[in-house]
Structure 1
Amino acid sequence: MISIEARLARMALRGDQEAFAEIVGLYQEKLYHMAYRMLSNRQEAEDVVQDTFLRVYNNLDRYDETMKFSTWIYRIATNLCIDRLRKRKPSYSLDAESSDHEGLDGYSMIPSDDRTPESETLLSETQRIIHQAMDTLPAKYKSVMVLRYLQELSLQEIGDVLGMPVTTVKTRVHRGREFLRKKLERVL
């Protein structure tokens, strides 16, 4: 039996714009949350979601209906996030003055996150610490940890999304947890 998403993909491939709009409606928020957790930047997460749907639309003819549609779309979004993480420049000390911007330190150059005082109080200190620790994970662990613990995908689904064996996923989850444990032991 063909899934609803596969049926929508077929219809969109034949030019049905409403069918593609339904696909966007089904996945837009989920992909945004995943991308935001991986990138910790709202603008980049929005860009990844937009790029994901553009790639989905342009490659609908390549979608293999024997594969879960969610796996296919998550793979595209995750790969785009990983590409962005790899392209980022190495981080520098926030206290060091920038040679490009005389008299400015790293703190003054951090873009605003548009957080309100109300939303800031909703985040507990522990959540912030955990999210900060997640941000320091290497990309290969971060993608697995976000998919496992924030998107709640099974190990098999993560393997399908990332195109790797389940044993590799298990290893990366284990190493990611160890990395976080060591990081959080120093902070908490």
Structure 2
Amino acid sequence: MNYVETRLAELSRNGDRKAFAELVDLYKDRIYHLAYRMLSQAHAAEDIVQETFLRVYKNLHRYDEKQKFSTWIYRIATNLCIDQLRKRKANYSLDAEMPDGEGADWYSMLPSDDVSPEGQILLSETQQQIRSAIDMLPEKYKSVVILRYLHDLSLQEIGEVLDMPVTTVKTRVHRGREYLRKRLSPEFGD
């Protein structure tokens, strides 16, 4: 448990604006990356960040200090993303643009012994294929896969964020992985 975050939340609840600004600084980038991964659109991710902190501020009185602050804020952000995905399901773009130099994530760290320009192109294509496959994941698998592999949350933490039993999280992680494996196997010659 991070006592600093709990203390900042407590101070924020009592009207300390500097404490709330520190919470925002601690989490704005993490929430943005979570939202960007789930929604694949920069402006939508920015909106989620703003809405998340607005909800955090309005609901600080509901935060239970016995739970991790990170779990609570991830739950808020993830639910907002899921709501957004449901709203735009009909016009959801699988060709969303991915900016260069976006930061390290699990598929940008795929091992490669080949550092030639051709190798870099292949690695880049592989990353794009994985991103596209994640974008195509059914909603119920997408959130658990992103939280597990891109945000490195434990199964227990994902269960707390999504308010579901760990056994359900395990099943969805497994099925999400299988879905990705099947989606990617034609590209990788399986």
TM over 0.5: yes
Distance 1:48 1:179 in 2: 27
- 2:171 is matched with 171
Q: 1:115 to 1:169 in 2, by over 3 A?
A: closer
RMSD: 2.4
Aligned length: 170
Question: Percent identical across equivalent pairs?
Answer: 65
Per the TM alignment, residue 93 of structure 1 is displaced from its structure 2 partner at its CA by 9.8
Deviations, residues 25-77 of structure 1 (Å, cap 9, x unaligned): 00000111111011101010110011000000000000001111000000000
Distance 2:164 2:92 in 1: 32
Residue 30 of structure 2 aligns to which amino acid in structure 1? K
Counterpart secondary structure, 1:169: helix
- 1:83 is matched with 83
Residue 55 of structure 2 aligns to which amino acid in structure 1? R
Mapping 1:4-153, distance limit 5 Å: 4-91=4-91, 113=97, 115=99, 124-153=124-153
Q: 1:58 to 1:131 in 2, by over 3 A?
A: same
Per the TM alignment, residue 90 of structure 1 is displaced from its structure 2 partner at its CA by 2.4
**Higher gyration radius (CA):** 1
TM-score by length of 1: 0.83
Residue 33 of structure 2 aligns to which amino acid in structure 1? H
Gaps of 5+ in 1: 95-109
Runs (4 or more) in structure 1 with deviation over 4 Å come to 91-94, 113-116
Gaps of 5+ in 2: 103-119
TM-score by length of 2: 0.82
